[in-house]
A and B are shown apart, each in its own frame.
Chain A
Amino acid sequence: MNALYSLVLVFALVLIALFGVGTAHMAGLFGIALPLVAVAVFLVGFAYRIIKWAKSPVPFNITTTGGQQKSLDFIKHSKFDNPVTPGQTFIRMLLEVLCFRSLFRNAKTGIQEGQVTYASAKWLWLFSLLFHYSFLLIIIRHMRLFFEPVPACINFVAMLDGIFQIGAPRLYMSDILILVGLGFLLARRLWDAKVRYISLVTDYFPLLLIISVALSGIYMRFFAHVDIPAVKQLTMGLVTFHPVIPAGVSVPFYVHLFLVCTLLIYFPFSKLMHAGGVFLSPTRNMPNNPRRVHHENPWNDPSIKPHSYEDYENDFREPMIEAGLPVEKKS
């Protein structure tokens, strides 16, 4: 049901853009006002969420250690799974953010003939990586619409992405791979009973939304053949704050743009903020050094004292003396 709700929601978004631009001719709203608002909401919202998290302190050093601690010289230290220095922690975070290190550990547990079995299950890791890196490539490629002249590195990325030179316009690998990645994530959510059981509308919606963004993009490029110079005129108008609605930008572009705007607006309020949150996760971004270095808790309450030795001795002095245990006061 949750998946269906999300699908309906995404269809509704497509229809809104189709009618909004195609029938109601509100290109100004969909091409200028909304994108500006969306970017603003995204930037402000993203920053707001990060600041909100950052406002709460990290009272304790609660690193999850994934390997041998640094201790004796003859015991091999697992530097990047159990870092003790900021440098090692930085590398741990790089591995986490760039390579999805923790997800790489994933294994599937089952029971077969009375045995608990563990099988490597790196599919989630692989397809998540595919999706995220394709998305990154696509974003970088799109930057050519926002720069004049286009920096060489962006062209280089686009060139690499289309290196197989299939078809005209050239097929970008990232277009295919992002759909493969997203398709897997969606299929897994639907087919794996456990994952389906925990999935909310807010899990399907962003997946379907991003799929529709990708599909509308692919449609524009290969089927609708949108007038790219005109689009660039529009996007350059937005970044230079001299917005224009050039003639020749067709409806499919507005659908694509509207879906992207929805994504940008939705992003800061949703689980998509894991993109920012991963950097702030206290179990990962701290070195495991609280036995070596003092960690301060801003709300530590110094008035909390143990049941004192004095009270303890007062309670048990007689038997202690009788048992021959040393005491502070003889009576």
Chain B
Amino acid sequence: MADLPKAEELLKSINYTPPSTPWMDIKADTSPGNWCYPAKAEKLEYLGFPNPREWNPADQDWKLPENWQDIVHQGFKERLDKYRSLKIFMDVCVRCGACADKCHFFIGSGDPKNMPVLRAELMRSIYRKDFTMAGKILSTLTGSRVMTEDVLKEWFIYFYQCTECRRCSLFCPYGIDTAEVTMMARELLHLCGVNINWILEPVSNCNRTGNHLGIQPHAFKDIVEFMVDDIEEITGKRINVPLNEKGHEILFITPSGDVFADPGIYTFMGYLMLFDHIGLDYTLSTYASEGGNFGLFTSSEMMKKLNAKMYAEAKRLGVKWILGGECGHMWRVINQYMDTMNGPADFLQVPKSPITGTVFPAAAQTKMLHITEFTADLMKHNKLKLDPSRNDHLRVTFHDSCNPARAMGLMDEPRYVIKNVVKNFFEMPEQTIREQTFCCAGGSGLNTDEIMEIRMRGGLPRGNALKSVRDEHDVNMLSCICAIDRATLPPLANYWAPGVDVCGVHELVGNALILDGEKEREVDLRQEPLPGKEG
């Protein structure tokens, strides 16, 4: 952290001209700051992952298993047989370079191995050598190479400099998705015990305690009580939050970041106020108290295992359907994987708003609805009493979180919600929003402080777009629908666009909601004075 360069210096250090040395001849830089801390042995042991040990990526010896090359080869082969995507993406790239300058890590670093095409080539070069005829015979001519320890180290460095945001995939003429390649590479690294703690510890916590942060049930209840107290202080109204209760209509699951950390907690307060306002018959669960699924960054098996809690808990509690909070990769998992892995959830019903009667065919199979879909519908039917002027001190822009945007297509629902509760709304430049949105550079388990410079570099495109609306429209609040964003964007905004805060969409809703019987509000959910109430 201490040696993080100033924003202007970092910007000046970026050079997009590749070095004269061919990329295969450049070893990955394994000095500290270039990698996230490796997973603790005890976490791997608990989860049953291979090769638990103490090791340091800066060391020459990574304490790999004896036959690690066989392990990688076999694992690669297995995945080629299991995923058509991997086979196609290994084979069809023409290296047109359309993806090259689309990756936020490349834009912020200029490191050619951060060009999506080259990131994938790190793996393709091995694929060619091991699985294609030409690659076996004509090594250098076809761009193939032998799997060595240096290559494995390179994989570790660069596949943990990919946030699986899929922006490159949007621009690829063949839809090659580097997220898919990165996922496979990480699975192969896992097989050798090469992984990072910031992913494995949350995975292990989620498995046992139900959420990333390892919040135990009674502590979870305390936190909720704490927020209920705050809501009472702000609105004068005490609300009731059911936990682990059977017999309710809806189970609400949100990422635990919303429960734990500032500014996510304000979003959580917004949800609770909304539910109280409309008299929603719902419950929270401490067992399934995590929407985010770090299994997605680990292996398909682990993703399935963690995701299975949602349906298991819905079944145990006897709810009709599940409502999901604001989270990025949680929704990627729900949209792309949930029903396939753990469905069909025939014991649930197609989500139907008990307030408006709207049935949501978009969630007909998963039985899980995104809260902005739910709230937008409420607003369309005028079911909410709102005072948008309470957000007048905010000049708001919206960050499309990568996963909802590019793995789902949820873009206008949050905008509709925001525009109903905020008067001053401004879009960031066209090439940085909606499906072209830029990652917070902390997704896919990289939101850890030991790689702060890498994160700030990767955050350049988002931060720069934010700066432009800050300068042009005095924007002071960046709203988003992802808990990882709410964790990673504050330092990013502070670095690239100081003066801009970060919030969830339902924090803005919570501010604007006029609860029945509430007192006149003088502060917003952050307990900061409302405009005209500064005392």
Binding site for B on A (CB under 8 A): 5, 49, 52-72, 74-76, 78, 81-82, 96, 100, 102-103, 105-111, 114-116, 118, 124, 128, 192-203, 269-271, 273-274, 277-278, 280-284, 288, 290-297, 299-301, 304-309, 312-313, 315-316, 319-320, 322-326
CB contacts (< 8 Å) of A299 on chain B: these are 82
CB contacts (< 8 Å) of B171 on chain A: these are 102-103, 105-106
CB contacts (< 8 Å) of B413 on chain A: these are 71-72, 75
CB contacts (< 8 Å) of A66 on chain B: these are 170, 406, 409, 435
Q: In the complex the two chains form, is A291's CB within 8 Å of B174's CB?
A: no
CB contacts (< 8 Å) of A65 on chain B: these are 405-409, 435
CB contacts (< 8 Å) of A319 on chain B: these are 216-218
Q: In the complex the two chains form, is B409's CB within 8 Å of A306's CB?
A: no
The 9 residue pairs across chains A and B that have the minimum distance between CB atoms: A69-B409, A277-B92, A283-B175, A323-B218, A65-B409, A306-B308, A284-B175, A118-B431, A197-B18
Q: In the complex the two chains form, is A325's CB within 8 Å of B309's CB?
A: no
Q: Is B337 positioned at the interface, with any CB of A under 8 Å from its CB? A: yes
Q: Is B232 positioned at the interface, with any CB of A under 8 Å from its CB? A: no
Q: In the complex the two chains form, is B306's CB within 8 Å of A316's CB?
A: no
Q: In the complex the two chains form, is A306's CB within 8 Å of B305's CB?
A: yes
B344 closest partner in A (C-beta): A294
CB contacts (< 8 Å) of A115 on chain B: these are 464, 468
Q: Can you name 11 extra interface pairs (CB under 8 A) apart from A59-B340, A109-B101, A195-B96?
A: A69-B411, A72-B360, A111-B16, A116-B464, A193-B16, A278-B92, A288-B409, A306-B312, A313-B287, A316-B216, A320-B217
B118 closest partner in A (C-beta): A198
Q: In the complex the two chains form, is A102's CB within 8 Å of B141's CB?
A: no
Q: In the complex the two chains form, is A64's CB within 8 Å of B166's CB?
A: yes
A101 closest partner in B (C-beta): B173
Q: Is B512 positioned at the interface, with any CB of A under 8 Å from its CB? A: no
The B85-110 residues at the A interface (CB cut-off 8 A) are: 85-88, 91-98, 100-102, 107
- Expressed in whole angstroms, the minimum distance between the Cβ of B406 and any Cβ of chain A is 6
The contact of B101 among A49, A54, A194, A316, by CB within 8 Å, is A194
CB contacts (< 8 Å) of A283 on chain B: these are 85, 169, 175-177, 180
The contact of B14 among A55, A111, A193, A288, by CB within 8 Å, is A111
Q: In the complex the two chains form, is A53's CB within 8 Å of B88's CB?
A: yes
How distant is the Cα of A55 from the Cα of B87 in the complex, in angstroms?
Answer: 10
Asked whether A291 and B364 contact (CB < 8 A) given A64-B177, A67-B435, the answer is yes
Q: Is B259 positioned at the interface, with any CB of A under 8 Å from its CB? A: no
Which of the 9-residue segments B53-61, B266-274, B365-373 touches chain A? Answer: B365-373
CB contacts (< 8 Å) of B464 on chain A: these are 115-116
Q: In the complex the two chains form, is A274's CB within 8 Å of B174's CB?
A: yes
The contact of A273 among B92, B101, B112, by CB within 8 Å, is B92
- Expressed in whole angstroms, the minimum distance between the Cβ of A21 and any Cβ of chain B is 27
Main secondary structure of the interface of A (DSSP, over half): loop
CB contacts (< 8 Å) of A282 on chain B: these are 84-85, 88, 175
Q: In the complex the two chains form, is A304's CB within 8 Å of B304's CB?
A: yes
CB contacts (< 8 Å) of A196 on chain B: these are 18
How distant is the Cα of A291 from the Cα of B337 in the complex, in angstroms?
Answer: 9
CB contacts (< 8 Å) of B410 on chain A: these are 69, 71
CB contacts (< 8 Å) of B363 on chain A: these are 291-292
Q: Provide 16 A-B residue pairs closer than 8 Å at the C-beta atoms, listed in order of the A residue.
A: A49-B91, A59-B300, A62-B336, A65-B409, A124-B98, A195-B96, A269-B134, A278-B92, A282-B84, A292-B365, A306-B207, A306-B309, A309-B312, A316-B216, A325-B221, A325-B243
Q: Is B17 positioned at the interface, with any CB of A under 8 Å from its CB? A: yes
Q: In the complex the two chains form, is B409's CB within 8 Å of A78's CB?
A: yes
CB contacts (< 8 Å) of A61 on chain B: these are 336, 340
Q: In the complex the two chains form, is B91's CB within 8 Å of A53's CB?
A: yes
Q: Is B23 positioned at the interface, with any CB of A under 8 Å from its CB? A: yes
CB contacts (< 8 Å) of B85 on chain A: these are 58, 62, 281-283
Q: In the complex the two chains form, is B365's CB within 8 Å of A198's CB?
A: no
Residue interface bits B316-327, CB-to-A below 8 A is 1, else 0: 100000000000
The contact of A200 among B143, B368, B431, by CB within 8 Å, is B143
Residue interface bits B144-162, CB-to-A below 8 A is 1, else 0: 0000000000000000000
- Expressed in whole angstroms, the minimum distance between the Cβ of A319 and any Cβ of chain B is 4
Q: In the complex the two chains form, is B142's CB within 8 Å of A82's CB?
A: no
CB contacts (< 8 Å) of B98 on chain A: these are 102-103, 106, 124
CB contacts (< 8 Å) of B209 on chain A: these are 312, 316
CB contacts (< 8 Å) of B141 on chain A: these are 5, 200-202
Q: Is B352 positioned at the interface, with any CB of A under 8 Å from its CB? A: no
Asked whether A201 and B170 contact (CB < 8 A) given A271-B91, A309-B313, the answer is no
How distant is the Cα of A320 from the Cα of B305 in the complex, in angstroms?
Answer: 24
Q: In the complex the two chains form, is A200's CB within 8 Å of B95's CB?
A: yes
- Expressed in whole angstroms, the minimum distance between the Cβ of B382 and any Cβ of chain A is 13
Q: Is B516 positioned at the interface, with any CB of A under 8 Å from its CB? A: no
The contact of A64 among B169, B208, B434, by CB within 8 Å, is B169
How distant is the Cα of A64 from the Cα of B464 in the complex, in angstroms?
Answer: 25
Q: Is B412 positioned at the interface, with any CB of A under 8 Å from its CB? A: yes
How distant is the Cα of A194 from the Cα of B8 in the complex, in angstroms?
Answer: 24
Q: Is B480 positioned at the interface, with any CB of A under 8 Å from its CB? A: no
A289 closest partner in B (C-beta): B365
The contact of B117 among A54, A72, A198, A309, by CB within 8 Å, is A198
A326 closest partner in B (C-beta): B244
